[in-house]
Amino acid sequence: MLHRGHESRDGTDDGELAVPMAWLYAEYIADELLRTGDLMPPTSFEFRAGRDALALTVFLSDTDGELSGIRVISQLENWLSLTAYDQPWQDWVRTRMAELTDRAAESGVPSPDLALAVDAWRWLEETELLAPDLDAVPGGALTAGEDDGPKVWTPAWRLGLPLGHLAIHLF
- What type of residue is 86? D
Model pLDDT for residues 33-73, shown as the tens digit of each residue: 999 988 889 999 999 999 999 999 999 998 766 665 556 77
Residue 96's Cα: distance from chain center in Å?
13
What integer pLDDT is reported at residue 147 of this predicted model? 63
- Distance separating alpha carbons of residues 105 and 41, to the nearest angstrom: 38
Residue 3's pLDDT band, with cuts at 50, 70 and 90, is very low
pLDDT at 11 over 70: no
Structural element, H or E, at residue 5: strand 3-6
Strands 3-6 and 128-132: unpaired
DSSP, collapsed to helix, strand or coil, labels residue 130 as strand
pLDDT at 79 over 70: yes
What integer pLDDT is reported at residue 8 of this predicted model? 34
- Distance separating alpha carbons of residues 164 and 153, to the nearest angstrom: 19
User: Which residues contact residue 85 at a Cβ distance below 8 angstroms, ignoring those fewer than 6 apart?
Assistant: 162, 165
What integer pLDDT is reported at residue 14 of this predicted model? 47
| pTM attached to this predicted model | 0.80
User: Residue 85, exposed/middle/buried by CB under 10 A (0-12, 13-18, 19+)?
Assistant: exposed
What integer pLDDT is reported at residue 1 of this predicted model? 43
What integer pLDDT is reported at residue 139 of this predicted model? 55
Strands 128-132 and 151-155: antiparallel
Q: Average pLDDT over the chain, rounded to whole?
A: 81
What integer pLDDT is reported at residue 89 of this predicted model? 94
- Distance separating alpha carbons of residues 60 and 52, to the nearest angstrom: 12
What integer pLDDT is reported at residue 111 of this predicted model? 87
What integer pLDDT is reported at residue 15 of this predicted model? 58
Model pLDDT for residues 120-166, shown as the tens digit of each residue: 999 999 999 988 876 665 555 555 555 667 888 999 999 999 999 99
pLDDT at 103 over 80: yes
